[in-house]
Chains A and B, each alone.
Chain A
Amino acid sequence: MNMTTALARLLIFPGLLFAVPAAWFFLWVERKAVAMMQGRIGPPFMQPFYDFIKLLGKGTPPRSGIGGMLMRAWPLIAVASAAGAVGLLPVLPSSGGFQGDLILLLALMELPSMCIIAAGFSSRSIFGEIGSAREAVLSVSYNIVFLLAIVSIAASQHTFSLEALAQLPASPLRVLGILALLVCLPAKLHLNPFSLPNAEQEIYSGPMTEYAGPELAMWELSHGLEWVAATGLVATLAAPVITTWWLAALVFVALSFGIVLLLSVVASATARLQIDTTVRFYWQCTLIFAVLAVASALFMRFRS
């Protein structure tokens, strides 16, 4: 991947120019779908955009010292890393990439969650701290499954390059891996039944409680970009190999849209679980599932 393609991917497609409207679109789809399932009308199409603009125009409380600087920095780091993660997705055929970009993608996708944890603690609010503690526990639980699922797909194919992974034919193992990834997505995106860090009935909005104005707008944006990156990752792994670039982009968007709808259905049909039930769920049920996937991947690798 040379500098031009890298910049084009980061800034145009699937990077910022595509990802930011896509983030708002996915946020709208999720809100609208949940609203329709609940018998409500839901927000108008442009609402996430309006929210963003309105938040940008508001003021933030003056914060001094290292704590204040950190609080301003976390949302920016989160947005930057989420945008970077989206830019790495191999949506277009033969768009380049490098060996090991999968590892970079996983690291970038994890950064926003780290920033949320840090933000909650630096805000020094009791609600923020509890929210951060929950996010940390949640992150430790689902990430093992998330990583194992990806590693199982990668290990079976001897590669850590996203491009190579996306172009491999579908296999039962890959389906298993994608399923494990899908189970992790609600926790990664703070959706029901795992919407613990931002459980408004218990701890207001958790780590975000002390945030307002442009900083909150950045959090909203990073959340939207996380949506695009997470659904996009699953979509690229699930998408069939297509050589026409516009068709590939279309299939990518359609698959991401389907995943957003699926997640919305799950979110609206469930109640929020407690933290220990959630941790048990990921460690007991899904971990077994992921370990099986890795074991079979390694087995396949040694046999071949």
Chain B
Amino acid sequence: MSYKIPMGPYHPALEEPYKLDLICTGETVTDAKLHIGFNFRGIEHLAETRNYIQVIALMERVCGICSNIHTLTLCQAMEGLTGLTPPPRAQYIRVVMAELERLHSHVLWAGIAAKLMGFKTMFMTCFELREKVMDVLQAISGNRVNYSMNRIGGVNRDIEDPIALLGMIDVLEREMVKKVIPIFTTSSTARSRCAGIGVLTHEKAISCGTVGPVARASGVGQDIRKAAPYAAYAEMDFEVPVQPDGDVKARLLVRALEIMESCKILRQALTKMPPGELASGGDKFTFVTGTATSRVEAPRGEVMYSVSWKEGARNPARVHVRTPTFATMPAIRWMVLGARLADTPLIQASIDPCYSCTDR
């Protein structure tokens, strides 16, 4: 006999309001339906009522985890409309902020994944480590969540002593290698919860249009940082980790390896940071009529902004945001088919969903 079990919109396994209706037979899931839209805030409409300075502060609040990525993408799109190019030092600072954000987002996800396996000790370990990343972010920007680092044509704040931050990066990397990665890969209870569950095949990953770590864990080696480098990524030497298996363990491994690559990029960006200006252009900007798009590799995958402007206007005519979760979300249905009920919270979380950004 099959029955429907609602998961959400308020559920201990979900950080955000969304709903997964699971049709189960016994403990096996036979179908799933995902409902979003519980957190609609109308930010895209609100953006049309804000001027070019205010809109950056507004878009920073689309997501509480990847706040920097949203302003970075928006600023890049607006730079396309104003014809400004950020100076090299600003490009490097943008890379540092983006990678630190990736670090803290991935560590946060590892913690949540551990919690969903019922592994609360690991959750606490991950969140302790995340605090250290937040400390670095605070040391640079003075803020823990909304960093307000990006502006049109550059960044707002300088990293005065980049070399001093290297020690903090070393600590992060050591803790990752010593604690988090070994526990996830060697703990037999953790392994039994991850290996072979929530499989998304290579073909399905492509046909669902998944992005980011979910796609890379299904063997789709795409990364905007490599494919269409922005900021100073063209000058960085790093690998894009790809795993062929497509299960939760592969997604976990891809993110773990990305953390290591992020540390590598951070070290390069901090040591090679060129001297110079923080921003080009003054305080007043003139926009041309048209639409500019910008794509950035957020921790969860590709974020795309499309910004339209009319010449002489202070406010944008349209700001459209496409978040990575929007692209990855449909894959959940294929992942949970045939899975056990106990695995579904972990499977749906393995795409690292951020429905608040998706709802905007």
Contacts and interface: CB of A to CB of B under 8 A. Distances in A.
Most chain B beta-carbon neighbours within 10 Å: one of A34, A192, A269, A272? A272
B124 A39 contact: yes
A95 interface: no
Contacts of A40: 124
A39 B124 CA distance: 7
B118 A192 contact: yes
A270 B187 contact: yes
Interface string A183-198: 0000000001101100
A275 B340 contact: yes
Contact of A271 (B5, B11, B128, B190): B190
Interface of A: 34, 37-40, 126-127, 130, 192-193, 195-196, 199-204, 268-277
Contact of B342 (A196, A200, A269): A196
Interface of B: 3, 5-6, 11-13, 27, 114-125, 128, 187, 189-190, 192-193, 340-345
B13 A201 contact: yes
Contact of B117 (A34, A127, A204, A272): A272
Given A199-B342, A202-B345, A271 B187 contact: yes
Contact of B120 (A193, A268, A276): A268
B124 A195 contact: no
23 contacts: A38-B123, A39-B125, A126-B6, A127-B5, A195-B118, A196-B342, A201-B13, A201-B115, A201-B116, A202-B13, A202-B341, A202-B342, A203-B341, A268-B120, A271-B114, A271-B118, A271-B189, A272-B117, A272-B193, A273-B189, A273-B193, A274-B342, A274-B343
A271 B11 CA distance: 19
A176 B12 CA distance: 39
A275 B342 contact: yes
Contacts of B341: 130, 202-203
B192 A277 contact: yes
A189 B345 CA distance: 23
Contacts of A39: 124-125, 128
B340 A274 contact: yes
Nearest to B114: A271
Nearest to B14: A201
